[in-house]
Chain A
Amino acid sequence: MAYDLQLSHIGKVYDNGTPAVIDFNLDVDKGEFIAFLGPSGCGKTTTLRMIAGFESITSGDLLIRGKRVNDLQPEKRPTSMIFQNYALFPHMTVRQNVMFGLEVKQLPVAEANRKVDRILDKLGLTEVANVRPTRLSGGQRQRIALARSLVVEPDILLLDEPLGALDANLRKSIQNELKLLQRDLGITFVFVTHAQSEALALSDRIVVMNAGRVEQISPPRELYTRPQSIFVARFIGANTLISGKVRNVEGGAVSLDTPFGALVAEPPAASITTGASASIVLPAEAMNVLPGSMAEAEVRAKHGNVVPCQINRLQLVGHILQIGMTLPSGESVSLEGHADKYRDTLRAGAAGYVAWNPADTTLIAQ
């Protein structure tokens, strides 16, 4: 009962038999900011539309505040949706757009007016209240869509790539506004996006989807540092994957035979057995690049894992040093580091080492 929104074994199969969403499970707390993240066609928007009531649910249960709403019409659900193209009513003024949802609720006129005034003021739309939305900028129209949806006081606000149509600068500032607004109102947001930066910056938890299935549900930091599947490891962040075979599992360390020799990793949450295939997910942030003049044994003793590399490119951009390398497997890796960390130690065209601490990597069994 404590959950605002529950999806339990939700599935969607289109009329032509194509599965769109498979066994989706999620419990959302009140006031939580959830992001559905995935490549296009992964089923994230379909799931959002099932919550809104625009798509029928083939199997499973959808609960809002403990009540099953599978067969409730969209207008009777306590949800409100923001569309990618805003879907404002072009034949109404900004004020009429915002007032529209309140009109059918038969509130006293004075109260409805007060609510509209308050939300217009909150979103800085008072000055354009009597203008048709078609004459306004993308950012303003985004805010009108927000005002229109929030004024009806939904329990859950659904947002379908709401920032997708905005330019980069505007996206940043609206992103911040959105986060503040959500904290301020304390209502549950479910946000669909294909941009990981948005999901990572805004949400309390991220649901990564691929081909209709949930890959992982984690808070942003955990998702970023501890991917649970190869898909997530490739989709989120800038990771290098090193596959190998488990040689032995001993205490808190797993050693693997990889194309780069023996490497050590921390054991994954699930148990892993000797001889199993596994991949080490190595985030670019965990890599240290060291000059080839150092002794390999010394590097290994200090960092834990080391792989020789060829440094191809060094480029200083302000305080950031961009480093391009080739691993012995021929794979190119690039990373960015603080200029001070690497001051004058590396030379382009020279040999070097990539070294990292096993604790900074994640091991995924395959």
Chain B
Amino acid sequence: MESRIIKPALGVYVALFVLFLYGPFVVLTIISFQQGPDGGPQFPIIEWSTYWYRQIFGLTPPSRVAPLPFGEALIRSLVLALMTMVVSTVLGVMSAQAFRRNFKGSAVVFYLIVLGMMVPGVLTGLGTSLLANNIIGIERHWYTTAFATHVAYTFPFAFLVMLAILNRFDSSVEEAAWSLGVDPWTTFRKVTFPLIFPGVLSAMLFAFTLSLDEFPRTLFASGRDQTLPLAIYGTFSVEIHPNIFAFGVLTTLFSFALLSVYGILMAMSVRRAKKMAMQEDIA
């Protein structure tokens, strides 16, 4: 009786949810196959074509629509996201590791770290920019000032992920290693790290994706050379052509590819973790 009402209602809710989530992307995908170079970013589709995809890769003859100026911005964004991922994950693992023991002022340090994701991005960006220009007197670059804001923003995410992972970590395996005469650093490398690796993967994914499409902080802190989100936003202010949609589809596919790699690595690690959990259950 109950399920006859609630189940369909929940089904409709989920369908709407999925529609809102993927609706824009579906529209974007359809329009990216608009005829070019005369077709605009609107319905109806005059004729299906892959013109705009070819245009992105420079496979079309020159026309009145300029090719997207994304090449360098894309590389900058990827490099920045990678740098951010590495630094934030290392910091996240290290600080979460520190929080396994109670230390004086740990509560203050905790909120200081988490503040990085709470403070409005525009303020962080603007503040960093003012600090660099007026007080320290250095030039702003995507790889210096913007990089710093990205780390301050993504580090708390990596930290929280690692904190949750280490919370459930059974430290007796570490003690076992120490008691065998293995020093703490080797123990961390050979015992702790392999076992918390699924969490490290998640922390890396968070840091990478958050940095890749970070906008407000980068807007103020990146200086002359633009990152990808800024470059895309820049093209909107002139005229929008379906090539930007084709580009969106490609980046989304890239993200899915990244997620798949993550998923595969995760599945492998989780299988191992499950075995470990089983071991503990029996024990």
* Contact residues, B234-283 vs A (CB, 8 A): 272, 275-276, 278-280, 282-283
Whether B176 and A87, one on each chain, are in contact in the complex, defined by CB atoms closer than 8 angstroms, is: yes
Whether B195 and A83, one on each chain, are in contact in the complex, defined by CB atoms closer than 8 angstroms, is: no
Residues of A within 8 A of B191 (CB): 89
- Say yes or no for A105: interface residue by CB 8 A criterion: yes
Whether B170 and A80, one on each chain, are in contact in the complex, defined by CB atoms closer than 8 angstroms, is: no
Residues of A within 8 A of B134 (CB): none
* Contact residues, A246-301 vs B (CB, 8 A): none
- Say yes or no for A53: interface residue by CB 8 A criterion: yes
- Say yes or no for A361: interface residue by CB 8 A criterion: no
Residues of A within 8 A of B178 (CB): 53-54, 73-75
Task: Give the docked Cα–Cα distance between A88 and B170 (Å).
Answer: 11
Q: Which residue of B lies closest to A84 (CB)?
A: B283
Q: Which residue of A lies closest to B197 (CB)?
A: A91
Residues of A within 8 A of B176 (CB): 81, 83, 87-89, 145, 148
Which segment of B11-19, B28-36, B179-187, B212-220 sits at the interface?
A: B179-187
Looking at the assembled complex, report how far the CB atom of A251 sits from the nearest CB atom of chain B, in whole angstroms: 54
- Chain B CB within 10 A, most for which of A91, A105, A133, A135: A91
- Say yes or no for B225: interface residue by CB 8 A criterion: no
- Say yes or no for A85: interface residue by CB 8 A criterion: yes
- Say yes or no for B173: interface residue by CB 8 A criterion: yes
Looking at the assembled complex, report how far the CB atom of B266 sits from the nearest CB atom of chain A, in whole angstroms: 15
Looking at the assembled complex, report how far the CB atom of B261 sits from the nearest CB atom of chain A, in whole angstroms: 21
Whether B181 and A152, one on each chain, are in contact in the complex, defined by CB atoms closer than 8 angstroms, is: yes
Residues of B within 8 A of A171 (CB): none
- Say yes or no for A19: interface residue by CB 8 A criterion: no
Task: Give the docked Cα–Cα distance between A87 and B283 (Å).
Answer: 9
Looking at the assembled complex, report how far the CB atom of B24 sits from the nearest CB atom of chain A, in whole angstroms: 42
Task: Give the docked Cα–Cα distance between A145 and B180 (Å).
Answer: 11
Residues of B within 8 A of A133 (CB): 279
Q: Which of A80, A84, A90, A141 contacts B180 (CB 8 A)?
A: A80
Q: Which of B170, B179, B183 contacts A85 (CB 8 A)?
A: B170
- Say yes or no for B78: interface residue by CB 8 A criterion: no
A81-B176, A85-B280, A138-B282 given; A90·B181 CB < 8 A: no
Q: Which of B102, B172, B183, B283 contacts A138 (CB 8 A)?
A: B283
Mark each residue of chain A from 126 to 151: 1 if its CB lies under 8 Å from any CB of chain B, else 0. 00000011110010010001001100
Chain A: number of interface residues, binned into ranges: 35 or more
A83-B172, A104-B186 given; A90·B179 CB < 8 A: no
Whether B175 and A52, one on each chain, are in contact in the complex, defined by CB atoms closer than 8 angstroms, is: yes
Task: Give the docked Cα–Cα distance between A69 and B279 (Å).
Answer: 34
Residues of A within 8 A of B282 (CB): 138, 165
Q: Which residue of B lies closest to A133 (CB)?
A: B279
- Say yes or no for A235: interface residue by CB 8 A criterion: no
Looking at the assembled complex, report how far the CB atom of B187 sits from the nearest CB atom of chain A, in whole angstroms: 8
- Chain A CB within 10 A, most for which of B102, B177, B279: B279
Task: Give the docked Cα–Cα distance between A81 and B172 (Å).
Answer: 10
- Chain A CB within 10 A, most for which of B184, B275, B278: B275
Whether A90 and B275, one on each chain, are in contact in the complex, defined by CB atoms closer than 8 angstroms, is: yes
- Say yes or no for B69: interface residue by CB 8 A criterion: no
- Chain B CB within 10 A, most for which of A15, A88, A133: A88
Looking at the assembled complex, report how far the CB atom of A282 sits from the nearest CB atom of chain B, in whole angstroms: 40
Whether B175 and A81, one on each chain, are in contact in the complex, defined by CB atoms closer than 8 angstroms, is: yes
Q: Which residue of A lies closest to B278 (CB)?
A: A134
Whether A104 and B182, one on each chain, are in contact in the complex, defined by CB atoms closer than 8 angstroms, is: yes
- Chain A CB within 10 A, most for which of B170, B180, B280, B282: B180
- Say yes or no for A79: interface residue by CB 8 A criterion: yes
- Say yes or no for B190: interface residue by CB 8 A criterion: yes
- Say yes or no for A308: interface residue by CB 8 A criterion: no
Q: Which residue of A lies closest to B180 (CB)?
A: A101
Residues of A within 8 A of B175 (CB): 52, 54, 74, 81, 83, 87
- Say yes or no for B194: interface residue by CB 8 A criterion: yes
Whether A74 and B272, one on each chain, are in contact in the complex, defined by CB atoms closer than 8 angstroms, is: no
Whether B276 and A90, one on each chain, are in contact in the complex, defined by CB atoms closer than 8 angstroms, is: yes
Mark each residue of chain A from 92 to 120: 1 if its CB lies under 8 Å from any CB of chain B, else 0. 00000000110111000000000000000
Looking at the assembled complex, report how far the CB atom of A213 sits from the nearest CB atom of chain B, in whole angstroms: 26
Looking at the assembled complex, report how far the CB atom of A268 sits from the nearest CB atom of chain B, in whole angstroms: 41
Looking at the assembled complex, report how far the CB atom of A169 sits from the nearest CB atom of chain B, in whole angstroms: 16
- Chain A CB within 10 A, most for which of B181, B194, B275: B181
Task: Give the docked Cα–Cα distance between A270 and B9 (Å).
Answer: 82
Whether A104 and B183, one on each chain, are in contact in the complex, defined by CB atoms closer than 8 angstroms, is: yes
- Say yes or no for A86: interface residue by CB 8 A criterion: yes
Residues of A within 8 A of B278 (CB): 134
Residues of A within 8 A of B177 (CB): 89, 100-101
Task: Give the docked Cα–Cα distance between A11 and B195 (Å).
Answer: 35
Q: Which of B172, B183, B190, B272 contacts A87 (CB 8 A)?
A: B172
Q: Which of A15, A83, A134 contacts B279 (CB 8 A)?
A: A134
A104-B183, A152-B181, A165-B283 given; A90·B195 CB < 8 A: yes
* Contact residues, A144-164 vs B (CB, 8 A): 145, 148-149, 152, 158
Mark each residue of chain A from 167 to 200: 1 if its CB lies under 8 Å from any CB of chain B, else 0. 0000000000000000000000000000000000
Residues of A within 8 A of B190 (CB): 100
A91-B195, A134-B276, A141-B279 given; A52·B179 CB < 8 A: yes
Task: Give the docked Cα–Cα distance between A88 and B191 (Å).
Answer: 10
Residues of B within 8 A of A73 (CB): 178, 184
Whether B181 and A105, one on each chain, are in contact in the complex, defined by CB atoms closer than 8 angstroms, is: yes
A90-B272, A100-B190, A134-B275 given; A85·B283 CB < 8 A: yes
- What would 8 A/B residue contacts be, using CB atoms closer than 8 Å? A54-B178, A80-B179, A86-B279, A87-B175, A91-B272, A91-B276, A100-B180, A152-B181
Q: Which 10 A-B pairs have the closest CB atoms?
A: A101-B180, A90-B276, A85-B283, A134-B275, A87-B172, A87-B176, A74-B178, A81-B179, A134-B279, A75-B178
